[in-house]
């Protein structure tokens, strides 16, 4: 289908709107991590007596959000198989607004965890459909850059939005951070309604046809890569506020600056990842994991030092975000016609990693191993992810040598 004729201004606003939605998602997901101590002290009794155990318990908010993404991403992708991608964006943004406003109003930890789950349901489907829409608007041959553009809001959120929301949460209370997020999503909905081209749905698609893509075992290997390998990032990021204050000795006001440093690294990594993915998704994900593992090892050794903390979190941002466009592009191409499912399920995989990493990081902290111990959890998870990538590459080379069908694998040397 041809791309509707768009004026340069409308095209720019449409792409900005898609990225701005990702910006809101980045703020709502990652600001919670920076505000864990504030939420725990407000909603969990006994925080002052057992801060380590209560911080680990508060990490369940991160797990609840991650599980919401895992449930929502494939569900929306399958049920919306015939729906206009543009209309789907409107629906998802509306659900974001409702879930985020409710999160800001919840009086107890249990109810907050429930609405963090609900607010996360549209997360994966939004990034999936935003990536596909961005690629369509930008034109053929831009899948990697389209994914990177949709994700650019997520990475820039860690430079500007997450530090701002964390600062607001520390100054005015954690509920103010969620109020800010709701405003971001409302603005995104208005911009999207005004600028996005109205692509029609595809009546030939069906939920069962979308689900048939899951018969491909290569999809499950790449889901495992994102779920396990990317868990290493969240094992560290989930407790970065505590590392900043308890290990390095900085004041809580330094946490937003640490998050901004991480966000700058993520933004650079995302741009590099989009560029590299359009050239060689296989090499990008393989070498990217190697660099990611090396950075996690450095984090465990040097993040206790003030300078070491900033250097390590910057490199974590670069190496982790370098992986995202390559893994998502590979999943989209493996999924073939079920592109929305492939794009959405990628974020479900990452949030399985979010849940797994936050949980395992909390386990080692609660065991008294210290706040840098999640870095070693990250090393193990990332190493498992790299092992799965190498297995996937070996299977592709075998199938290619045998002349088997490798449609969607996008083997680029």
99 within domain boundaries: yes
409 within domain boundaries: no
SS3 per-residue string spanning the chain = CCCCCCCHHHHHHHHHHHHHHHHHHHHHHHHHHHCHHHHHHHHCCCCCCCHHHHHHHHCHHHHHHHHHHHHHHHHHHHHCCCCCHHHHHHHHHHHHHHHHHHHHHCCCHHHHHHHHHHHHCCHHHHHHHHHHHHHHHHCCCCHHHHHHHHHHHHHHHHHHHHHHHHHHHHHHCHHHHHHHHHHHHHHHHHHHHHHCCCCCCCCCCCHHHHHHHHHCHHHHHHHHHHHHHCHHHHHHHCCHHHHHHHHCCCCHHHHHHHHHHHHHHHHHHHHHHHHHHCCCHHHHHHHHHHHHHHHHHHHHHHCCCHHHHHHHHHHHHHHHHHHHHHHHHHHHHHHCCCHHHHHHHHHHHHHHHHHHHHHHHHHHHHCCCCCCCHHHHHHHHHHHHHHHHHHHHHHHHHHHHCCCCCCCCCCCC
∠ Cα 180 186 191 (to 5°): 125
Q: CATH number for the domain including 221?
A: 1.20.1250.20
410 within domain boundaries: no
259 within domain boundaries: yes
408 within domain boundaries: no
Domain assignment of residue 194, given as a range: 8-401
What is the pLDDT, as a whole number, of residue 263?
A: 83
327 within domain boundaries: yes
2 within domain boundaries: no
C-beta of residue 377 within 8 angstroms of C-beta of residue 366:
no
Count of domains in the chain?
Answer: 1
CA nearest neighbour of 239 among 377, 55, 109: 55
362 within domain boundaries: yes
Taking the CA atoms of residue 367, residue 59, residue 121 and residue 162 in that order, the dihedral angle to the nearest 10 degrees is -130
Q: How confident is the prediction along the chain (413 residues), in pLDDT tens digits per residue?
A: 444 577 888 888 988 999 999 999 989 887 887 787 788 888 777 666 766 677 767 778 877 888 888 888 888 877 877 788 888 999 999 999 999 999 998 888 889 889 999 999 999 889 888 888 887 887 666 656 666 777 788 778 877 888 888 888 888 888 999 999 999 999 999 999 988 888 776 666 666 666 766 777 778 888 888 888 888 888 898 888 889 988 888 888 888 888 888 888 988 888 888 777 777 777 888 888 999 999 999 999 999 888 999 999 999 999 988 887 777 777 767 766 566 676 677 778 887 887 788 889 888 888 888 889 999 999 999 999 899 888 877 777 776 666 655 444 333 33
The pTM assigned to this predicted structure is: 0.73
């Amino acid at each position: 289908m041809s791309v509707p004729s768009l004026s340069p201004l409308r095209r720019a606003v449409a792409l900005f709107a898609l990225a701005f939605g990702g910006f809101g998602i980045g703020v709502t997901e990652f600001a919670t991590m920076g505000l864990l101590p504030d939420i725990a002290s407000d909603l969990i009794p006994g925080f002052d007596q057992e801060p380590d155990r209560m911080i680990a318990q508060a990490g369940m908010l991160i797990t609840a959000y991650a599980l919401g993404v895992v449930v929502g991403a494939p569900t929306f992708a399958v049920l919306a198989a015939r729906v206009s991608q543009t209309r789907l964006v409107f629906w998802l943004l509306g659900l974001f607004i409702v879930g985020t406003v409710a999160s800001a109003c919840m009086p107890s930890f249990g109810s907050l965890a429930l609405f963090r789950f609900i607010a996360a349901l549209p997360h994966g489907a939004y990034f999936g459909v935003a990536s596909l829409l961005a690629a369509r608007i930008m034109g053929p041959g831009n899948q990697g850059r389209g994914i990177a553009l949709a994700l650019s809001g997520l990475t820039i959120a860690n430079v500007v939005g997450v530090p701002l929301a964390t600062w607001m949460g520390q100054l005015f209370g954690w509920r103010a951070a969620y109020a800010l997020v709701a405003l971001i999503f409302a603005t995104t909905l208005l911009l999207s309604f005004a600028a996005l081209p109205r692509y029609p749905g595809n009546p030939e698609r069906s939920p069962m046809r979308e689900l048939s893509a899951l018969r491909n075992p290569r999809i499950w290997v790449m889901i495992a890569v994102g779920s396990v390998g990317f868990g290493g990032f969240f094992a560290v990021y989930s407790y970065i506020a505590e590392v900043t204050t308890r290990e390095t000795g900085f004041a809580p006001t330094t946490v937003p600056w640490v998050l901004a440093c991480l966000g700058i690294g993520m933004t650079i990594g995302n741009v590099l990842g989009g560029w590299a993915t359009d050239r060689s998704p296989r090499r990008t994900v393989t070498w990217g994991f190697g660099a990611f593992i090396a950075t996690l090892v450095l984090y465990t050794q040097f993040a206790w030092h003030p300078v070491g903390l900033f250097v390590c979190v910057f490199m974590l941002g670069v190496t982790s975000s370098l992986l995202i466009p390559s893994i998502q592009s590979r999943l989209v191409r493996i999924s073939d016609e079920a592109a929305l499912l492939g794009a959405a399920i990628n974020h479900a995989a990452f949030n399985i990693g979010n849940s797994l990493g936050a949980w395992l990081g909390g386990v080692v902290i609660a065991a008294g191993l210290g706040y840098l111990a999640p870095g070693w959890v990250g090393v193990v998870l990332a190493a498992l992810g790299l092992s799965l990538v190498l297995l996937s590459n070996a299977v592709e080379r075998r199938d290619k040598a045998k002349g088997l069908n490798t449609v969607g694998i996008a083997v680029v040397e």
